[in-house]
Structure 1
Amino acid sequence: MSVSRHFVLAAGGTGGHMIPAYAVAEELMARGHHVALVTDDRGAKIPGIFDGMAVHILPAGRMDGGPRGWLRGLRGIMAGRDMARRMYDGFRPSVVVGFGGYPALPALLAALKEDIPTAIHEQNAVLGRVNRLLAGRVNAIATAYPEVSRLKDKYADKVHLVGNPVRAQVLNLREEEFPVLTDESVFRLLVTGGSQGATILSSVVPEGLSLLPLSLRRRLQVTQQCRAEDIERVRAAYAELEIPADLATYISDMPQKLSWAHLVIARAGASTLAELTVAGRPAILIPLPSAMDDHQTANVRELVNCGGARSIRQSNFTPVELAKQLQKMAMEPGALQNAARRAWSCGRPNAARDMADLLESIGTAPLMNDPVTVSTPVPTSLNLKGVPA
């Protein structure tokens, strides 16, 4: 007899939180479970994921901006918690799991109030603010890295290394060979700056490519994510250099672009690194210095230490430095292929499976062949005066 359970996945509205949640949702649904997502307005608008799944937008106040900001944030969190409790009355979740970000907080607080088992997943090598707040109260803590800063030793018994779950389309790349690369073939470069793009990449990368030897520059083919305000300037720069370039503000078919890339230039977000290591793609990484607790610098250490990527601090990220590093990787025989193998060796392709196993192990209230029923209608969003959504 099949056993079906209900799971609530709560995630902040960036790709770094949403993509792992989506990958785990896919795995749980493939096992016959029912899944609902809790997020914010940004997360609900990310195209191409969570289609056909119940999505609930809750108020998720941020605790910043001084005393008034703290008060507004607390009101938003409490309003979101109350909405989540009403949702749980109908959905009856077996586990509520948070993937970080402020929208996860009210969902997890509601679960704790209702004595529903809880878990958190930390994508970065530094425990995030919301996860730090709840680490002592949840049943399980899943991590993406063997060493996670700001994770207290006293929680060791409930910590589980699973890795960062990736989409099935990326997981499929793990069995593919690295794209053929010869001295005469096209050299395909993928440039991405996270969910919002990165102006510094738009400024430095074209100029850096202009400094490469002509023999290499003539072989380049670039796909690059740009901010909307940068895209025409970048397009003009590549046209002047006669480098074929496909530019977009959002790369919807990232797995396909990653499949044919010989080298990736990117920020060091957790999902980006997970996809690079699962697929086995070498990279030049520029950690975002303003990331909370400088977690992107911590994220890159494992991949750099194993030889799958090079890291350049943003303060040192100049056209000259980029050209130097790119030339070393691209023109030394076998360097890219070797870096690709080393990146592949860092991958944790079973992350979604292992995370689903963990959630099933702490879950309660199995539902035998029970269809989804929601006894109390729950709005997908709520507008409260003075409460930030």
Structure 2
Amino acid sequence: MKTGAHYLVAAGGTGGHMVPAHAVARELERRGARVSLITDARGARLPGLFGGNDRHIIDAASIGRNPLKWPGAMWKIAKGRRQAAGILRDDPPAAVIGFGGYPVLPAMIEAAKAGIPTLIHEQNAVLGRVNRVLQGRVDAIATSFVQTSRLSAADKADFTGNPVRGDVAALARSDFPLFDDVMPLRVLVLGGSLGATVLSEVVPRGLAALPEPLRQRLQVMQQAREEDIADLAAAYRDSGIPADLSTYMEDVPAALARAHLFIGRAGASTIAELTAAGRPAILVPLPIATDDHQAANTAEMVAAGGAVMLRQDKFTPEALAAQIAAMVAKPETLANAAARAKSVGRPDAAIRVADMAERLAGFISRAQESET
């Protein structure tokens, strides 16, 4: 539906919040809408997102555990609310859509106060702190998982999945890369937007421990922290495993398209991309993630048979090598895991969230939405 409406998207400054926000923005624009963004300074710096959109940077802060920092945080939040109120007044949107992160709080509070329709999207299987505060104030909630913990306003919630970029969603229409007893095994290793030291320490040693015939077939693409790159390169060089290493992977969709096996963290966007593309995975949840939400994120994919979850304290070179050997023992085992991963994917999540936004804004009814 071509609406010509204006939507305001609010998202915090991490890729986990900004990428699904970007995906929904592009879907709304495809329908003829205009989209602007409220974020913080970190969000504005993320490359490849919201190019060409009006951007508003506001003040935001978290209320941490240190009481000495509370006055400063409250002052920033109050300032952010004043900034958000001005943005809403100067360019009123048909609806405001929040994707988590601290800049979302002042934007959504002011939108609700002004009577503007409000929608929040939760990426994780555990409702985030900001969304917990907002769930009683907003009009609707989109969830990425059928089961979402800490959700008390379930009557407002619709399951949509977690929006992924269009080039990732397109992988849902592609077959799993051919893999047999002689072809290279292409392994993709990601540890979130900045890499993870534990992956740099364990993965090369685990791959080196594989039987020689399999080790000789490995092709690795790995993202790592800048301070880990030199040691990581030396480890792969010593084991004779070809590896393409980088501190920032610009084209994740292309890497996913080639990969037979993923090893890495279990952030919400990672799970959404793996299941949309249909890629089997060995997942190592971040142990310090709030409410252990990364472990919760793995549950559906693991239950479907598309992934194995290893807690970080059990993530050893020996355990990794044993798991990989089991997954690739027969070519059909890996392909079957890929199909099971895809069975829980939601490549149309951006469409579903955009439908919710249009319905809130009065441009689409539930009957119309059910036909899309």
TM-score, structure 1 normalization: 0.92
Match of 1:85 in 2: 85
Aligned to 2:47: 47
1:327 alignment partner in structure 2: 325
- What's the offset of the Cα at 1:67? 2.1
Question: In terms of mean alpha carbon deviation, does 268-277 or 65-74 score higher?
Answer: 65-74
What is the aligned-residue identity percentage?
A: 54
Name the structure, 1 or 2, with higher relative contact order (CA <8 Å, separation 6+): 1
Give me the whole-angstrom Cα distance separating, in 2, the residues matched to 1:271 and 1:49: 15
In structure 2, C-alpha distance between the alignment counterparts of 1:334 and 1:87, rounded to whole Å: 54
Q: 1:30-87: CA deviations, max 9, x gaps?
A: 0111111111122111111111111211111111152221111111111111111111
Q: Distance in 2 between matches of 1:70 and 1:364?
A: 39
For the residue of structure 2 that corresponds to 1:190, the secondary structure is strand
Q: Is the CA contact 1:284–1:310 (under 8 Å) kept in the aligned structure 2?
A: yes
1:61 matched to 2:52? The reply is no
1:20 corresponds in structure 2 to 20
The worse-fitting range, judged by mean Cα deviation, of 198-207 and 324-333 is 324-333
Partner residue in 1 for 2:312: 314
Per the TM alignment, residue 157 of structure 1 is displaced from its structure 2 partner at its CA by 2.0
Q: Could you tell me whether the CA contact under 8 Å between 1:187 and 1:262 is conserved in 2?
A: yes
Question: 1:297 aligned to 2:311?
Answer: no
Q: Shift of the alpha carbon at 1:3?
A: 2.6
In structure 1, give the amino acid aligned to 2:141.
I
Hey, what does 1:370 align to over in structure 2?
none
- Secondary structure of 1:24's match? helix
- Which segments of 5 or more consecutive residues in structure 2 lack a partner in the other structure? 365-372
Matching residue of 1:342: 340
CA distance in 1, matches of 2:363, 2:96: 13
Q: Which runs of 4+ in 1 moved over 3 A?
A: none
Aligned partners of 2:109 and 2:137 also within 8 Å: no
Counterpart amino acid of 1:49?
Answer: L
Correspondences of 1:1-389 after superposition (within 5 Å): 2-152=2-152, 155-363=153-361
Partners of 2:290 and 2:259 in 1: how far apart?
29
Change in CA separation of 1:216 and 1:365 when aligned onto 2, cut-off 3 Å: closer
2:369 match: none
| Aligned equivalents of 2:26, 2:187: Cα separation in 1 | 30
Q: Could you say what secondary structure the match of 1:256 adopts?
A: helix
**Cα shift at 1:244:** 0.9
Name the TM-score, length of structure 2 as normaliser.
Answer: 0.96
Distance in 1, matches of 2:97 and 2:164, equals 17
Structure 2 CA distance for aligned equivalents of residues 106 and 295 of structure 1 = 24
Cα drift, residue 365 of structure 1: 9.6
Which shifted more, 252-261 or 173-182?
173-182
SS in 1 for 2:55: strand
1:23–1:166 CA contact under 8 A, matched in 2: yes
- Pairs aligned (count): 364
Q: Residues 117 and 364 of structure 1 are in contact (CA less than 8 Å); yes or no, is this contact kept in structure 2? A: no
Give the deviation of 1:237 after TM superposition: 0.8
